[in-house]
């Protein structure tokens, strides 16, 4: 995907912080749409497209900053902070909705935040950013783009999987894979300390 971001970034004159702000706007739209999609199924499609737009803009803002020569620590900090807000909005939209049992949704949010925390804490102690493990942000964005579209098709046919809708299973996966990923990142940094 880096080649695509580079190609698009070369032709952009917009400031990177505008792209970051737009990514947060799309995350908000995604979260609201995914929450209300239980009652209005067409919002699953809106939510999926908004998640996709968020992910694209998130990948583009840093590339534009580097190509324009305006990349900075402040911009990096803002970008990562907006990513966390975006994650909570998008995953939280499903997690708080009737698509998902409350404890499963809470687990998904916890797994996601622990994964991100371990990645940034690794950098804080001098290890560098840790993006390894089963389920990073890019993986979540892809899954959260595709799953609502599949849920839309399944909901139209009244199909559930073992009494849960697909989106509940996605949140369960985010919970388990997120906690495993956080553990993998923790062990990678711990190994670095012990080396």
pLDDT by residue for the chain (195 residues), tens digit each? Answer: 677 766 766 777 889 999 999 999 999 999 999 999 999 999 999 999 999 999 999 999 988 898 889 999 999 999 999 999 999 999 999 999 999 999 999 999 999 999 999 999 999 999 988 889 999 999 999 999 999 999 999 887 777 677 899 999 999 999 999 999 999 999 999 999 998
Give the pLDDT of residue 6: 66
Taking each helix axis as running N to C, give the angle between helix 73-95 and helix 102-124, from 0 to 180 degrees, rounded to the nearest 10.
170
Q: How many CA atoms lie within 13 A of 66 on its CB side?
A: 12
pLDDT at 157: 79
Among 105, 85, 84, which residue's Cα sits nearest to residue 96?
A: 105
Supply the pLDDT for residue 128: 87
What is the pLDDT at residue 13?
Answer: 81
Helix runs in 16-136, H state only: 16-36, 43-68, 73-95, 102-124
All domains in the chain, ordered by first residue = 2-194 (1.20.120.1760)
């Amino acid at each position: 995907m880096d080649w695509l971001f580079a190609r698009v970034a070369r032709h952009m004159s917009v400031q990177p912080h505008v792209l970051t702000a737009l990514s947060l706007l799309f995350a908000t739209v995604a979260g609201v749409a995914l929450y209300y999609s239980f009652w209005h199924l067409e919002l699953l499609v809106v939510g999926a497209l908004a998640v996709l737009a968020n992910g694209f803009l998130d990948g583009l803002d840093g590339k534009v900053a580097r190509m324009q020569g305006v990349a900075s620590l402040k911009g990096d900090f803002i970008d990562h902070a907006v990513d966390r807000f975006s994650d909570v909005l998008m995953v939280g939209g499903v997690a708080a909705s009737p698509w998902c049992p409350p404890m499963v949704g809470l687990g998904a949010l916890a797994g996601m935040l622990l994964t991100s925390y371990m990645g940034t804490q690794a950098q804080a102690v001098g290890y560098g950013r840790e993006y390894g493990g089963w389920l990073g942000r890019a993986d979540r964005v892809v899954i959260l783009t595709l799953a609502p579209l599949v849920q839309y098709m399944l909901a139209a046919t009244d199909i559930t999987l073992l009494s849960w809708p697909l989106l509940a299973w996605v949140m369960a996966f985010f919970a388990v894979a997120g906690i495993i990923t956080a553990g993998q990142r923790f062990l990678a940094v711990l190994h670095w300390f012990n080396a």
